[in-house]
Structure 1
């Protein structure tokens, strides 16, 4: 794991922002890769600050050490809010699981996590605080915006533009040279053959707009 968000490496490891099931998954990924984890951070209910089932501490957000390295294990909207809450005193490393392949000539932004078995082709840009779930495929010269979520088995072809805060569901396929608009939602299993407007939800094969004025949760 590299710290591309600035700041010094913490001797006691990375803090995971969030305490839900996705936080458990992040812990498993980091430990499997041999990356030290310092604990979890809670920002909604101080009563949840206790010892996690793993034996690691759950600390209140105000007690996060200055300069702590953090990865955020929350859905899109909560991810943005939590990161904004700690941004002034935290740094954000990137994490790519060693079972994944990231080819050269691309960039990965701070706070981005790439899970197991992912293939990222050459000249790909992954923005900040992106979550690429297991087994996803991202084609060459594709640009993935900040806070995007790609769920397991997603296959994004080459030269695709994915706007910030977009969500692409389980097993969806996006054809080459398309644009997925900011805040758009692509339903699980969709086959996307046309551009997806911002803040719309598409589903089906081929994908069609089902709702407008949506926001990823």
Structure 2
């Protein structure tokens, strides 16, 4: 079994811990050591130890997964970890997820329970595909995206780096969501969304426009 830590100790981290337990029930794969979090309020999460902050990882040789929901924060933490020569990221797929043979998953991805990834899908680094989400044929998902529970990406959808989908978002075929943009919960995305915009509702009303590079200041 391979040593593994979860970076983060919040809600998504606990969900990822459940995925690890499910994976090990099917085939013992991961020796889970504990959680890493500079701001943890407890020494224990989900009955497992909080090992310490990022400093704990210095000089350690273990796999890690960054289980932080915010794409911008996840990117920052990953970049800090990459400064360590020993950084090795795991890809975790819940046993109940359905992942097609032609799906490509880059390191650091987390695919949750009940998710479906069909055919010729490309998932970038450190992407979260959450519970019950569907990613259909020929979708291209860039690094650090977050796809919330029950979202549905129809064929040939493209998500730019750091794009975030709220719960139960639907994106119609061939539509793109730009870099560091967001679709609010329940939105049906019917048109291409530029970088750094937040849209909501069936008309894709723009409720926020961020300046380029905003994610680098989080």
Same fold, TM-score > 0.5, yes or no: yes
Tell me which of 61, 64, 71 is aligned to 1:67.
Answer: 61
In the alignment, structure 1 segments of 5+ residues that lack a partner are 1-8
Supply the distance in 2 between the matched residues of 1:73 and 1:55 (Cα, whole angstroms).
15
Supply the distance in 1 between the matched residues of 2:12 and 2:101 (Cα, whole angstroms).
29
Q: Which whole-Å deviations, capped at 9, do the CAs of 1:95-147 have from their partners, x for residues lacking one?
A: 11110111122210100000000110110000000001000000101100100
TM-score normalised by L of structure 1: 0.88
Tell me which of 13, 16, 36 is aligned to 1:26.
Answer: 16
In the alignment, structure 2 segments of 5+ residues that lack a partner are 25-29
Supply the distance in 2 between the matched residues of 1:53 and 1:189 (Cα, whole angstroms).
30
Counterparts of 1:70-81 in structure 2 under 5 Å? 70-74=64-68, 75-81=70-76
> Aligned with 2:203: secondary structure?
coil
TM-score normalised by L of structure 2: 0.87
Supply the distance in 1 between the matched residues of 2:199 and 2:62 (Cα, whole angstroms).
38
Tell me the equivalent position of 2:109.
112
Q: Which whole-Å deviations, capped at 9, do the CAs of 1:50-92 have from their partners, x for residues lacking one?
A: 3435133422211215332111111222211211112222100
Supply the distance in 1 between the matched residues of 2:113 and 2:46 (Cα, whole angstroms).
23
Tell me which of 128, 136, 141 is aligned to 1:139.
Answer: 136
What is the number of residues matched between the two proteins?
A: 205
Shift, 1:38, TM fit: 1.1
Tell me the equivalent position of 2:27.
none
